[in-house]
Structure 1
């Protein structure tokens, strides 16, 4: 990609090519990520790849470690509780939840453990603060799937995978479903 001075969101979402998604067990998914400090073309190229990979995988969101990059950034493309499509990215995110959150149980899966989902309770509202692709402060508030996505992707950046929130019984159910569907997701998926 040529040297760019400015990369708006609509370009980030259309210029990349998908790459394979890292699977649970790969070390990059199980340790905290490095903070984003360089908000220039290298980050923008990474974001293009992340959006393309998330789209190819039909994901709600994707964190950098899910494509093997140890950097605290994620992208999202999903609906909120009102059916509005929300798209964007957050670098160096921090999640704020209500003091007494309403939790909603819904099916949740992970692109790094494809083909499986289990019911998981999460707060139905989240505020995520961080930086955009230029290093400017941003705040994303979300309900429904967006709130779940903001929490799930921020977890990834802290080295936490969805299974870390599950009971032993839920983990076994997730493993059975993943094993059953694994042939549909070769290691090159979704590239």
Structure 2
């Protein structure tokens, strides 16, 4: 297993259209395992395939309830939000958008349809913080970053900061 490179804004792969996964094989399982190792190494609580340069509809999310608990993750293939209700505002950050956290408005409760690594179909209903994590990762599959949910002022300030950092390299 390997730790993979995490692509950061403004890399084009983060905005690219992702393709549905239709082959459920050993390389897919290995990719999911590598993604989980990369997520934990970062450290993070979710990671989407575009963040490691793969334009696939694939995410891994940490499902541990207790920080002391052994790290437990869930792989979701071709996930999509099929129902939602309510709203909440929560603090978010992103491994692909370093040095920025901000409050983002999301649905409070979501139902996600997805497949597992064997191709079996599932539905999961979740709310609160875990719902935020899933929405954030699914956004990545649609070329959306959490900065897209911010005011234009905050987004532009971050873009200027990144432009300056890139120019200084």
- With normalisation by structure 1, the TM-score equals 0.75
**Structure 2 equivalent of residue 44 of structure 1:** 29
Q: Distance in 1 between matches of 2:155 and 2:63?
A: 25
Once superposed, what is the RMSD of the aligned Cα atoms? 2.2
| 1:159 is the counterpart of 2:143 | yes
Q: Residues of 2 paired with 1:86 and 1:32: CA distance?
A: 28
18, 21, 24: which is aligned to 1:33? 18
1:89 corresponds to which of 75, 78, 85:
75
Per the alignment, do residues 145 and 74 of structure 1 end up closer, same or farther by CA in structure 2, a change over 3 Å counting?
Answer: same
- The answer for the alignment partner of 1:111 in structure 2 is 95
Aligned residue for 2:44, secondary structure, equals coil
Task: Look up the match of 1:128.
Answer: 112
Secondary structure of residue in 2 paired with 1:59 = coil
Could you say if the C-alpha distance between residues 36 and 93 of structure 1 is closer, same or farther in structure 2, counting changes exceeding 3 Å? Answer: same
**Whose relative contact order is higher, 1 or 2, with alpha carbons under 8 Å and at least 6 apart?**
1
Gapped regions of structure 2 (runs ≥ 5): none
3-state SS, counterpart of residue 60 of structure 2: strand
CA shift for structure 1 position 115? 2.3
* Matched residue count: 159
TM-score by length of 2: 0.84
SS in 2 for 1:76: strand
- Partner residue of 2:50? 65
Q: CA deviation at 1:79?
A: 5.9
Q: Supply the distance in 2 between the matched residues of 1:32 and 1:122 (Cα, whole angstroms).
A: 22
Contact kept? 1:108, 1:118, Cα under 8 Å: yes
Aligned-partner SS, 1:124: strand
More strand by share: 2
Output one character per residue of 1:104-123: Cα deviation in whole Å (capped at 9) or x when no partner: 11111111012210011111
**Per-residue deviation at 1:86?**
6.8
1:147 aligns with 2:164: no
1:21 is the counterpart of 2:16: no
Aligned to 1:53: 38
